């Protein structure tokens, strides 16, 4: 391990910086899902017949969320991760304020696309920034994943109450102001970087020959794409799924938002467990087991109603959220820190760009096929993920490898 490597691990980020990096992950996911949480109310306000007809207008956010990862990752490595995080907090807050002011579907679509562009900064920049000094990166990624999925939960419950009390525009505007304030705080507490990550001398934790590295990158990209389809379909569609399957049992939007938030909070804890496991064991067996467990739970959810659906959906989300840390841990374990943001940006652009189709197709697909058929399709995507994960090469646990 070089002197530069050692210096990276002598002292972690301050508590305030780590807190803000984790809060940023929560805001990133929350802002991307405010539209999904409020789409029914917005559709009525804009004169649409149903939420399914308005849903495709949100696809631009997810397209830019993926495609924007390439320039975001490149700027993170070459310009600096701290600077990019300040741009993230302020930019996503300002663009969400614009969304709150939109007067028709096309204005909202343009604003959401801008939200997606700034949201693309976090994953290729914020996560490598968080773990570049971490002694236990798996655990750090697990906590970070928990924070991100708490943002998913907050999108459901906070949006539900803000819509009920103040209207859908407040559901966009109030979190936007919070994000801008976080950006100002982050700029104040996070020290300037002495050099851009690309100029440092570091090595990957686990070294593979070039042929295996190519296979790892392919598995990383494909599994991230199929996993993102599952994540986007469920997190964007679960609110309407609960509304449909709980008709006559629970129909209050705020109560349904709380139920969905409970599912997300409980499921998010799985990421911390997975993160701890990944600091001790190899990736492939844990990843494969979690993905295989998604399949029967999707099959159960496709037929369940009422509280049985609640239980099945909780199981589905536990293992969808549990699968999230794996790709980030692969980047940390197999890729040199000098280029982690760029590698993460490229794989995110491919995987999230493809998975944005799930958001675009969600409304029309559910309208024509129904949730029962679409949940069976998601079980098929989980099976595809499992097949791809089996192609990962064997590698020793991190305890037997050199730190980067």
Cβ neighbours, 10 Å, residue 52: 19
CA dihedral over 284, 310, 353, 363, signed as positive or negative: positive
234 vs 177: CA distance, rounded Å: 27
347 pLDDT band, cuts 50/70/90, is: confident
Check pLDDT > 50 for residue 401: no
Q: Which residues contact 317 (CB under 8 A, 6 or more apart)?
A: 234, 238, 263, 264, 267
Average confidence (pLDDT) over 54-62: 85
134-169 burial by CB neighbour count: b if 16+ within 10 A, else e?
Answer: bebbbbbbbbbbbbbbbbbbbbbbbbbebbeeeebb
The mean-pLDDT minimum among 39-43, 234-238, 245-249, 392-396 falls in 392-396
Over residues 258-309, the pLDDT tens digits come to: 888 888 888 888 988 988 888 888 888 999 999 999 999 999 999 888 889 8
CATH architecture of 11-400: Up-down Bundle (1.20)
Buried/exposed code over 105-129 (b: 16+ C-beta within 10 A; e: otherwise): beebbbbbbbbbbbbbbbbbbbbbb
Answer whether 84's CB lies under 8 Å from 124's CB: no
Residue 39 and residue 36: Cα distance in Å, rounded?
5
pLDDT above 50 for 398: no
pLDDT of 203 > 60? The answer is no
pLDDT of residue 9: 45
Q: What is the mean pLDDT of residues 366-384?
A: 86
**Is the distance from CB of 224 to CB of 287 less than 8 angstroms?**
no
Least confident of 195-204, 207-216, 371-380: 195-204
Query: Does the pLDDT at position 3 exceed 60?
Result: no
> Looking at residues 188-205, what average pLDDT do you find?
74
Q: Is the pLDDT of residue 28 over 90?
A: yes
Please provide the DSSP assignment of 145-188 as one string. HHHHHHHHHHHHHHHHHHHHHH-HHHHHHHHHHHHHHHHHHHHH
pLDDT band at 397 (very low <50, low <70, confident <90, very high): very low
pLDDT of res. 10: 45
CB contact at 8 A, 34 and 161: no
Residue with more model confidence, 315 or 346: 315
- Average pLDDT of the residues in 59-77: 86
Q: Are 377 and 361 in contact (CB under 8 A)?
A: no
Q: Is the pLDDT of residue 2 over 70?
A: no
Contact 311, 26 (CB under 8 A): no
* C-alpha closest to that of 116 among 158, 59, 75: 59
How confident is the model over 218-230, as a mean pLDDT? 84
CB 31 within 8 A of CB 90: no
> At which residue do the structure tokens 């129904």 appear?
370
Angle subtended at Cα 346 by Cα 122 and Cα 16, rounded to the nearest 5 degrees = 20
Predicted confidence (pLDDT) per residue in 170-182, tens digit = 999 999 999 999 9
Q: Report whether 185 contacts 20 (CB < 8 A).
A: yes
Full-prediction pTM beyond 0.75? no
Does residue 352 register a pLDDT over 50? yes
Domain assignments of the chain as residue spans, ordered by start: 11-400
pLDDT in tens, 120-154: 999 889 888 988 877 778 888 888 888 887 887 77
Please say whether the beta carbons of 125 and 85 come within 8 A. Answer: yes
* Stretch (H or E) spanning 233: helix 210-245
* pLDDT-derived band at 5, boundaries 50, 70, 90: very low
Question: What is the average pLDDT score of the chain?
Answer: 83
How far is it, in rounded angstroms, from Cα 244 to Cα 265? 22
């Amino acid at each position: 391990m070089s002197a530069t490597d050692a210096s990276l691990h002598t002292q972690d980020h301050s508590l305030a910086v780590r807190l803000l990096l984790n809060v940023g992950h929560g805001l990133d996911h929350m802002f991307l899902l405010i539209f999904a949480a409020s789409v029914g109310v917005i559709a009525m306000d804009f004169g649409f017949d149903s939420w399914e007809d308005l849903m495709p207008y949100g696809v631009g956010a997810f397209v830019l969320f993926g495609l924007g990862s390439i320039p975001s990752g490149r700027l993170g490595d070459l310009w600096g991760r701290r600077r990019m995080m300040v741009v993230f907090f302020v930019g996503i807050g300002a663009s969400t304020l614009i969304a709150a002011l939109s007067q028709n579907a096309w204005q909202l679509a343009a604003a959401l696309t801008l939200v997606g562009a700034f949201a693309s900064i976090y994953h290729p920049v914020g996560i490598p920034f968080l773990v570049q000094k971490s002694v236990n990166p798996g655990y750090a990624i697990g906590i970070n994943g928990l924070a991100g999925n708490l943002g998913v939960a907050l999108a459901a419950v906070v949006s539900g109450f803000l819509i009920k009390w103040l209207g859908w525009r407040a559901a966009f505007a109030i979190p936007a102001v919070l994000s801008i304030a976080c950006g100002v705080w982050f700029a104040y507490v996070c020290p300037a970087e002495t050099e851009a990550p690309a100029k440092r001398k570091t090595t990957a934790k686990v070294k593979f020959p070039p042929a295996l590295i190519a296979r790892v990158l392919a598995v990383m990209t494909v599994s991230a794409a199929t996993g993102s389809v599952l994540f986007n379909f469920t997190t964007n569609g679960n609110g309407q799924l609960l509304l449909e399957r709980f008709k006559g049992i629970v129909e209050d939007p705020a109560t349904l938002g709380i139920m969905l938030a409970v599912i997300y909070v409980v499921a998010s804890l799985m990421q911390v467990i997975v993160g701890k496991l990944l600091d001790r064991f190899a990736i492939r067996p844990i990843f494969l087991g979690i993905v295989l467990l998604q399949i029967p739970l999707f099959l159960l959810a496709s037929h369940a109603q009422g509280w049985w659906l609640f239980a099945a959906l909780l199981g589905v989300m536990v293992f969808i959220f549990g699968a999230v840390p794996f790709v980030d841990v692969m980047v940390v374990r197999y890729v040199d820190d000098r280029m982690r943001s760029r590698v993460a940006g490229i794989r995110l652009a491919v995987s999230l760009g493809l998975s944005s189709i799930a958001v675009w197709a969600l409304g029309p697909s559910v309208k024509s096929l129904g949730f029962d058929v679409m949940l069976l399709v998601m079980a098929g995507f989980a099976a595809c993920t499992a097949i791809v994960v089996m192609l990962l090469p064997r590698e020793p646990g991190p305890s037997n490898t050199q730190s980067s």
